[in-house]
A and B are shown apart, each in its own frame.
Chain A
């Protein structure tokens, strides 16, 4: 199961995988492996991934669905195999904005625990999490849904 939590402006998801941290890291950084799961669907008609995995290197993934090429791209900000990968992510077709995705991988039991954190916006300046903030946010979202 995937666990999720909400901080102001940051989505955090944690998941256990039955594979070594090295293998999980590779799944993000080897284009042949990433092509099987990252920014693609079983219905995709064509797919290409160019991943220049080094700090300052760019990545581009193009996935064709319904005859349309969808391009996701960004830059690697931190590459520390097999523990940490940080990159920016944007889809210029839809929005000029980029978000930052942080992936952390740690050995756990016979496999790995991977934590992904995604910021809502690069421009958002969010002060540190304060006690009680999350509970209030969740309450307010409930109010919003009522």
Chain B
């Protein structure tokens, strides 16, 4: 089954690419990746997320906000503590972008392979 380019681009509209930009930016930082890895195990308070990183609560909050902006993290207020959870939807979007293009190029390379094979059967130039 082949996916046409226009279908593919419709599936990855511009709004989604802005979001992807935020996701890749958020994921590019090792502290934020460590925070996500921790959240993949269990929801954590802001304090617990900050603890292993030898940083102020304010600095940790900045990282948490970046993750929030990218849609990777959701904050839940429980009394006086803020509980952070992994929100994996944005990662799924990033993965979808890759899947769509991977498929487009795989289909294209199959067609190119056929063109080049055709070539070698015909008269040699």
A: residues with CB less than 8 A from B are: 2, 4, 6, 8-9, 11, 13, 15, 17-19, 23-24, 27, 33, 36-41, 63, 65, 68, 70, 72, 91, 93-97, 114, 116, 118, 120-121, 123-127, 130, 133, 136-137, 139-141, 143-145
Q: What count of chain B residues pass the 8 Å CB interface test?
A: 44
Given A41-B2, A65-B6, A120-B20, A140-B116 contact (CB < 8 Å):
no
Pairs A–B under 8 Å by Cβ, sample size 8: A11-B98, A17-B116, A70-B6, A94-B9, A94-B14, A123-B21, A141-B91, A143-B88
Query: A72-B5, A120-B97, A121-B21 given as contacts; is B116 within 8 A of A143 (CB)?
Result: no
Interface residues of B in 13-28 (CB under 8 A from A): 13-14, 17, 20-21, 24-25, 27-28
Q: Chain B at the A interface: mostly helix, strand, loop or mixed? A: helix
Known: A9-B24, A72-B5, A95-B13. A136 touches B98 (CB 8 A): no
Nearest chain A CB to B28's CB is how many angstroms away? 5
Contact B5–A70 (Cβ < 8 Å)? yes
A141 lies within 8 A of B116 (CB): no
B53 at the interface (CB under 8 A from A): no
The residue that A94 contacts in the complex, of B13, B33, B116, with Cβ under 8 A, is B13
Q: What 1/0 mask marks residues of chain B from 106 to 121 whose CB sits below 8 Å from any chain A CB?
A: 1011011111110110
Are B25 and A39 in contact (CB-based, < 8 A)?
A: no
| Chain A residues whose CB sits within 8 angstroms of the CB of B114 once the complex forms | 37
In the A-B complex, the 6 residue pairs with the smallest Cβ-Cβ separation, listed nearest first, are A144-B88, A37-B111, A94-B9, A19-B116, A144-B91, A95-B14
Cα(A139)–Cα(B102), bound, Å: 19
Given contacts A24-B116, A140-B88, contact A8 B28 (CB under 8 A): yes
Query: In angstroms, how far is the closest chain B Cβ from the Cβ of A90?
Result: 9
B89 CB-CB contact with A under 8 Å? yes
B92 within 8 A of partner (CB): yes
With contacts A38-B108, A94-B10 taken as known, whether A11 is within 8 angstroms of B21 at the C-beta atoms is no
